[in-house]
Amino acid sequence: MLGHTFRFGINNNSIGATIDAGKATIKSRMWKGSNDGTRVNEGSEGSIYSNDSAIASDAFGPYDTYDNSTNEYEGGDFELSVTFDKGDQPDGVVEVYYQTATDGATFDSNNAENNKGRMVCALQMAETTALTAEKTYVKSFSL
Protein backbone atom coordinates (compact mmCIF):
# COMPACT_ATOMS: atom_id res chain seq x y z
CA MET A 1 0.00 0.00 0.00
CA LEU A 2 1.46 3.34 -1.04
CA GLY A 3 1.66 5.99 1.66
CA HIS A 4 -0.16 9.32 1.99
CA THR A 5 3.09 10.99 0.97
CA PHE A 6 6.06 8.94 -0.15
CA ARG A 7 9.45 9.38 -1.70
CA PHE A 8 12.17 7.44 -3.47
CA GLY A 9 15.93 7.83 -3.09
CA ILE A 10 18.78 6.22 -5.05
CA ASN A 11 21.89 4.66 -3.54
CA ASN A 12 24.76 4.27 -6.02
CA ASN A 13 26.84 1.27 -4.97
CA SER A 14 28.21 1.09 -8.50
CA ILE A 15 31.92 1.06 -7.84
CA GLY A 16 33.78 3.25 -10.31
CA ALA A 17 30.85 5.06 -11.92
CA THR A 18 28.99 8.29 -11.16
CA ILE A 19 25.34 8.63 -12.16
CA ASP A 20 25.15 12.00 -13.90
CA ALA A 21 22.25 14.39 -13.22
CA GLY A 22 19.06 13.25 -14.91
CA LYS A 23 20.44 9.77 -15.69
CA ALA A 24 18.54 7.90 -12.95
CA THR A 25 14.78 7.88 -13.42
CA ILE A 26 11.78 6.02 -12.06
CA LYS A 27 8.65 5.85 -14.16
CA SER A 28 5.34 4.77 -12.66
CA ARG A 29 1.87 3.54 -13.49
CA MET A 30 -0.07 3.55 -10.23
CA TRP A 31 -3.49 2.09 -9.45
CA LYS A 32 -6.27 2.11 -6.88
CA GLY A 33 -9.50 0.26 -6.23
CA SER A 34 -12.87 1.66 -7.27
CA ASN A 35 -16.10 1.62 -5.25
CA ASP A 36 -17.14 -1.60 -7.00
CA GLY A 37 -13.81 -3.27 -6.20
CA THR A 38 -12.29 -3.15 -9.67
CA ARG A 39 -8.76 -1.90 -10.28
CA VAL A 40 -8.43 1.60 -11.77
CA ASN A 41 -5.07 2.33 -13.40
CA GLU A 42 -3.47 5.76 -13.54
CA GLY A 43 -4.33 7.39 -16.87
CA SER A 44 -0.80 7.18 -18.26
CA GLU A 45 2.76 6.38 -17.29
CA GLY A 46 4.44 9.19 -15.39
CA SER A 47 7.93 10.11 -14.23
CA ILE A 48 8.08 9.95 -10.44
CA TYR A 49 11.86 10.35 -9.89
CA SER A 50 14.80 11.96 -11.64
CA ASN A 51 18.09 12.80 -9.94
CA ASP A 52 18.63 16.57 -10.09
CA SER A 53 22.31 16.25 -9.30
CA ALA A 54 25.03 13.68 -9.90
CA ILE A 55 25.23 10.69 -7.55
CA ALA A 56 28.85 9.72 -7.00
CA SER A 57 30.00 6.14 -6.70
CA ASP A 58 29.21 4.78 -3.22
CA ALA A 59 26.90 7.72 -2.42
CA PHE A 60 23.23 8.32 -1.74
CA GLY A 61 21.30 10.65 -4.03
CA PRO A 62 18.47 13.07 -3.32
CA TYR A 63 14.87 12.04 -2.69
CA ASP A 64 11.91 12.94 -4.89
CA THR A 65 8.61 13.25 -3.00
CA TYR A 66 5.11 12.36 -4.26
CA ASP A 67 1.97 13.73 -2.57
CA ASN A 68 -0.54 10.87 -2.77
CA SER A 69 -3.19 12.54 -0.59
CA THR A 70 -5.46 13.51 -3.52
CA ASN A 71 -5.10 10.52 -5.87
CA GLU A 72 -4.90 7.95 -3.04
CA TYR A 73 -3.13 5.35 -5.17
CA GLU A 74 -2.81 2.01 -3.42
CA GLY A 75 -0.04 0.43 -5.46
CA GLY A 76 1.93 0.75 -8.62
CA ASP A 77 4.31 -0.69 -11.14
CA PHE A 78 7.60 1.16 -11.36
CA GLU A 79 10.60 1.08 -13.68
CA LEU A 80 14.09 2.16 -12.65
CA SER A 81 16.34 3.28 -15.49
CA VAL A 82 20.01 4.19 -14.97
CA THR A 83 22.30 5.35 -17.76
CA PHE A 84 26.08 5.34 -17.56
CA ASP A 85 28.39 7.16 -19.96
CA LYS A 86 31.01 5.82 -22.33
CA GLY A 87 34.19 5.13 -20.35
CA ASP A 88 32.33 4.28 -17.11
CA GLN A 89 32.72 0.81 -15.64
CA PRO A 90 29.65 0.20 -13.45
CA ASP A 91 30.27 -2.82 -11.27
CA GLY A 92 27.91 -3.06 -8.32
CA VAL A 93 24.32 -2.29 -7.39
CA VAL A 94 22.05 0.73 -7.71
CA GLU A 95 19.37 0.55 -5.01
CA VAL A 96 16.00 2.29 -4.72
CA TYR A 97 14.77 3.22 -1.21
CA TYR A 98 11.16 4.06 -0.29
CA GLN A 99 9.96 6.17 2.65
CA THR A 100 6.48 7.26 3.73
CA ALA A 101 5.13 10.25 5.70
CA THR A 102 1.60 9.89 7.08
CA ASP A 103 1.52 13.59 7.96
CA GLY A 104 3.00 14.67 4.62
CA ALA A 105 6.27 15.90 6.13
CA THR A 106 7.83 13.53 8.68
CA PHE A 107 9.36 10.63 6.76
CA ASP A 108 9.83 7.26 8.45
CA SER A 109 13.43 6.35 7.76
CA ASN A 110 13.94 3.95 10.65
CA ASN A 111 15.51 0.73 9.48
CA ALA A 112 18.82 -1.06 9.57
CA GLU A 113 19.95 0.43 6.25
CA ASN A 114 21.44 3.67 7.60
CA ASN A 115 18.02 5.38 7.85
CA LYS A 116 17.56 5.45 4.07
CA GLY A 117 14.14 3.80 4.15
CA ARG A 118 13.05 0.41 2.84
CA MET A 119 14.99 -0.99 -0.11
CA VAL A 120 12.46 -1.87 -2.84
CA CYS A 121 14.68 -2.47 -5.88
CA ALA A 122 18.28 -3.50 -6.57
CA LEU A 123 19.74 -3.21 -10.08
CA GLN A 124 22.91 -5.29 -10.48
CA MET A 125 25.66 -4.38 -12.95
CA ALA A 126 28.89 -6.30 -13.50
CA GLU A 127 30.92 -4.67 -16.25
CA THR A 128 34.50 -5.99 -16.38
CA THR A 129 35.73 -3.33 -18.81
CA ALA A 130 34.91 0.30 -19.49
CA LEU A 131 31.79 0.92 -21.59
CA THR A 132 32.49 1.69 -25.25
CA ALA A 133 29.17 3.57 -25.55
CA GLU A 134 26.48 4.97 -23.28
CA LYS A 135 24.47 2.11 -21.71
CA THR A 136 21.12 2.07 -19.93
CA TYR A 137 20.17 -0.55 -17.34
CA VAL A 138 16.49 -1.11 -16.51
CA LYS A 139 14.66 -2.99 -13.76
CA SER A 140 10.96 -3.09 -12.89
CA PHE A 141 9.44 -3.42 -9.42
CA SER A 142 5.98 -3.20 -7.86
CA LEU A 143 4.65 -1.84 -4.59
DSSP state of 23: -
Spatial distance between the Cα atoms of 49 and 25, rounded to a whole number of angstroms: 5
| CB-based burial label for 17 (10 Å; 0-12, 13-18, 19+) | buried
Pairing label, strands 75-84, 24-33: antiparallel
Element (H, E) at 95: strand 91-101
Average of pLDDT values for 77-86?
A: 96
Q: How confident is the model at residue 112, as a pLDDT? A: 47
The HSE-up count of residue 106 (CA atoms within 13 Å, CB side) is: 3
Residues 127-140 have pLDDT tens digits of 999 999 999 999 99
Which range is least confidently modeled, 41-50, 63-72, 98-107?
98-107
Sequence ranges of the domains in the chain: 5-142
- pTM for the model stands at 0.90
Q: Is the pLDDT score of 3 beyond 50?
A: yes
Which range is least confidently modeled, 27-31, 40-44, 58-62?
58-62
Q: How confident is the model at residue 113, as a pLDDT? A: 57
